[in-house]
Amino acid sequence: MDSYIDSRSLLDAQRDIFAAQASTNGLALTAGRRIDSHVTHDLAYVLRLPSDTTFAAAISNLTDEDPPFARLELSYDPTTAAPLGRTFKVGVRKQF
């Protein structure tokens, strides 16, 4: 995912969450205005075995990358990133 600008501040000049506010002692809090780019790598392996059996294994977020900071309640943008670190999945499927 390439970097992008948090467009919530562009919706209404009165609601610019990154502008200086009285509640921030007149300071502009710009952290999270530009969401950094990020890359995650996934690895999957599927093996078809005799007798209609399939074995599958996967590693998601192989390099264990954290999602980039966004000024949202969860501190990341859930529409473009996932909070899970490296995860593993293993499965066996048998068809009858």
Closest by CA position to 39, among listed 65, 60, 58: 65
pTM: 0.65
Closest by CA position to 92, among listed 62, 40, 52: 52
CB-based contacts of 25: which residues, under 8 Å, 6+ apart? Answer: none
Quickly tell me which residue has 């529409």 as its tokens.
79
pLDDT tens per residue across all 96 residues of the chain:
888 877 765 555 556 666 666 666 766 666 667 788 889 999 999 999 999 999 999 999 999 999 998 887 788 888 888 899 999 999 999 999
In the chain, where the domains are located: 4-94
